[in-house]
Amino acid sequence: MRGDTITAAAAGLIGCHSCSLVSKAPAAGHHAKAWCPRCGAVLHARKPDSLTRTWALVIAAFICYIPANLLPMTAVTSLGNVQEDTIMSGVIYFLLHGEWPIGLVIFIASVFVPLAKLFILVFLLISVQRKSQWNPVERTRLYRITEAIGRWSMTDIYVVTILVALVQLGNLATIEARAGALFFGAVVVITIIAAMTFDPREIWDNMESAHDKQGA
């Protein structure tokens, strides 16, 4: 950190999480509380219990990800025959039939993106808890990546929804969503909430603590 850099916390200021108004921080104390003068929301220097809540959500997402891949995502009924496909079996089907762009999109949206988000969050959580001093700028960028790619995580659910809505050919063929789609949707929602719960400012808090110790 640069010697001439001063943070809002060091200046005794605190931003409202609801309306972004900057106010004076409450007096130091275990039970000290302050409310935003504009919207009335409780002011917090950092998101309350950010690490604990994010860990809980990440673990829940990993648990849901297992049945999301093991249980069938769709069931195709054609001429009395029912074929159920998981995420990976669907990817393999499209690849074997020459539809590699569709298979690639499903693989990226359903396997790579969710796992990438979860492992990035795990890395950020561990680095903050261990008070890592490694490149806070890069870690902040990693956090921004998890936010940016979160909106693309539902691509597979969109595909399933469109197929269910469009491929209804009377008695010839129907497509129905299965339990795998429900668990996958839960993984996506939970990871989005986990990314919102994590407070990236805690990455920089460790840097400030180390800087203060060096200056003491």
Write the DSSP assignment of 71-88 as a string of letters.
Answer: S-SEEEEETTEEEEE-HH
Q: Which of 14-23, 155-164, 169-178 has the lowest mean pLDDT?
A: 155-164
Residue 146 CB-density burial (10 A; 0-12 exposed, 13-18 middle, 19+ buried): buried
- Give the whole-angstrom CA distance, residue 112 versus residue 103: 12
User: Residue 214: its pLDDT value, please?
Assistant: 46
- Give the whole-angstrom CA distance, residue 193 versus residue 57: 8
117: Cβ contacts below 8 Å, ≥ 6 apart:
146, 149, 150, 153, 191, 195
Reported as a pLDDT band with limits 50, 70 and 90, residue 57 is very high
- Give the whole-angstrom CA distance, residue 201 versus residue 216: 23
Among residues 142, 158, 112, which one has the least CA distance to residue 203? 142
Q: State the average pLDDT over residues 72-99.
A: 77
- Give the whole-angstrom CA distance, residue 96 versus residue 85: 14
Q: State the average pLDDT over residues 22-47.
A: 68
Q: What are phi and psi of 99, to 5 degrees?
A: -95, 60
Query: What CATH fold (topology level) applies to the domain 47-215?
Result: Butyryl-CoA Dehydrogenase, subunit A; domain 3 (1.20.140)
Reply yes or no on whether the pLDDT at 135 is more than 90: no
User: Residue 53: its pLDDT value, please?
Assistant: 92
C-beta neighbour count of 4 within 10 angstroms: 5
Does 41 or 11 have the greater pLDDT score? 41
3-state secondary structure of 215: helix
Reply yes or no on whether the pLDDT at 104 is more than 90: no
Among residues 155, 167, 191, which one has the least CA distance to residue 77? 167
H or E segment and range at residue 177: strand 173-177
For residue 106, the 8-state DSSP code is: H
Reply yes or no on whether the pLDDT at 216 is more than 60: no
* Whole-structure pTM value: 0.74
**What residue segments make up the domains of the chain, in order of their start?**
1-45, 47-215
**Mean of the per-residue pLDDT values for the chain?**
75
Does 205 or 187 have the greater pLDDT score? 187
- Per the CB < 8 A criterion, the answer to whether 163 and 181 are in contact is no
Does 75 or 195 have the greater pLDDT score? 195
Does 6 or 216 have the greater pLDDT score? 6
Reported as a pLDDT band with limits 50, 70 and 90, residue 48 is confident
